[in-house]
């Protein structure tokens, strides 16, 4: 029964985009619209341009920027989140700074980063890291402060060391919230990657889409947008797979409690 149910869910997940693509093909084919080209032209551009040399020249640089910026933000945010989550005084002292920088839209910092760091990958990676930092940071703090104090007190009563408490009580208790922040930040990383490549870049998926728009190559532009969607989907599925393995104990405990 479980296998059949999983098969039905996978079929639904595949069927939905297939139906939407089919509807677009039926709608666009007879119109011969400049801005909404037939599906065949978009797929031809996808195959000829993006699945050729652009895999290394444009797709891979964008993936590298996302992974570097996302990884950097995850390391910094989780480490800082633990420091603030475990200290109420530190949270109060840094709250104005956290709220100030969280409220700043990262695209607004793009001119400054270009001026200081240039148009290379360093500026793009730092912008991606900045936009990813605060969702992970806030979820880490919320996950730690949301742990039942009784659990930590019980750990101390049984003589568990501070390090053991952090590794076996605090970290597992905060992991579900941390992964929620990671999922939010991953989608923001893709968005920030595209924005940074629109403004100042010589390669990347965003650069390719912008160039296609400037050249009025609409099928190429749409195919680049499809590539972005596919990339975001693959990255999200990869993170979900990691989460399912790391938090297997958490889901098992929830099922047992139901």
Helix/strand number for the chain, H first, E second: 13, 0
Summarised one tens digit per residue, pLDDT across range 112-122 is 887 887 778 88
- Length of the chain equals 258
Summarised one tens digit per residue, pLDDT across range 119-151 is 788 889 998 998 999 999 999 999 999 888 888
Per the model's pLDDT, the better-predicted residue between 101 and 90 turns out to be 90
Kindly report the pTM of this predicted structure: 0.86
Residue 159 burial (CB < 10 Å; 0-12/13-18/19+)? exposed
Tell the CATH topology of 41-257: MetI-like fold (1.10.3720)
- Residue 27: the pLDDT is 87
Question: What's the rounded Cα separation, in Å, for the pair 169 and 148?
Answer: 10
Q: How far is residue 83 CA from its own chain's centroid?
A: 24
Q: How many CA atoms lie within 13 A of 251 on its CB side?
A: 6
Domain definitions of the chain by residue range: 41-257
Question: What's the rounded Cα separation, in Å, for the pair 232 and 221?
Answer: 17
- Residue 183, φ and ψ in degrees, nearest 5: -65, -40
Is the pLDDT at 1 greater than 50? The verdict is no
């Amino acid at each position: 029964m479980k296998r059949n149910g999983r098969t039905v869910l996978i079929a639904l997940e595949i069927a939905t985009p297939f139906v939407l693509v089919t509807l677009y093909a039926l709608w666009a084919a007879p119109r011969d619209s400049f801005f909404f080209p037939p599906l065949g032209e978009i797929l031809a551009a996808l195959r000829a341009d993006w699945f050729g040399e652009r895999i290394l020249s444009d797709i891979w640089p964008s993936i590298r920027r996302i992974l570097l910026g996302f990884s950097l933000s995850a390391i910094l945010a989780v480490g800082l989140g633990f420091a603030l989550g475990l200290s109420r005084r530190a949270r109060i002292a840094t709250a104005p700074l956290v709220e100030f920088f969280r409220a700043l839209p990262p695209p607004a910092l793009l001119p400054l980063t270009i001026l200081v760091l240039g148009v290379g990958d360093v500026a793009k990676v730092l912008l991606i890291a900045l936009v990813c930092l605060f969702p992970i940071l806030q979820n880490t703090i919320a996950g730690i402060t949301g742990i039942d104090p009784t659990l930590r007190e019980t750990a101390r009563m049984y003589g568990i060391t501070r390090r053991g408490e952090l590794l076996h009580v605090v970290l597992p208790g905060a992991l579900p919230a941390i992964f929620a922040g990671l999922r939010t930040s991953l989608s923001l990383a893709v968005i920030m990657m595209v924005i940074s490549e629109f403004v100042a870049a010589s390669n990347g998926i965003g650069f390719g889409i912008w160039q296609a728009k400037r050249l009025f190559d609409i099928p190429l532009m749409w195919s680049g947008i499809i590539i972005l969607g596919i990339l975001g989907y693959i990255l999200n599925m990869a993170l979900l797979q990691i989460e399912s393995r790391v938090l297997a104990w958490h889901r098992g405990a929830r099922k047992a409690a139901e």
